[in-house]
Amino acid sequence: MSKTATLTVQKWGNSLAVRIPAALARKVNFVAGQSVEVTTDDLGVVVHRKGPPPRTLAQRLAAFDPDKHGGEAMPSGRIGAEVF
């Protein structure tokens, strides 16, 4: 199922911009800071996601391996003012 929207081209500094509605951005997995590739064809402008979308926090946590990453960030005991 494709989603479409009628948008307005607006001035942004010396450039032109189109805001992508949240529903369309979710549909194509666009997120803020995502790299995209913009090309032109006979019909106009085409925007494609460049590279895989960033992983979500849930995906990152699922991939975390405590044995590989060492568990504690500071495996030494308490020192200095930390000793009670």
Tokens, residue 40 = 């032109």
Q: Tell me the C-alpha distance between 30 and 28, whole Å.
A: 6
DSSP 14: T
Instruction: pLDDT band for 52, please (50, 70, 90 cuts).
Output: confident
> Chain centroid to CA 64: how far?
19
pLDDT at 26 over 80: yes
**What are the chain's domains?**
10-70 (2.10.260.10)
Q: Percent of the chain beyond pLDDT 70?
A: 81
Unique residue bearing structure tokens 């006979």? 42
> Is the pLDDT score of 20 beyond 70?
yes
pLDDT averaged over every residue in the chain: 82
- DSSP SS3 for 10: strand
Cβ burial of 20 (10 Å; 0-12, 13-18, 19+) is middle
Mean pLDDT of 1-25: 87
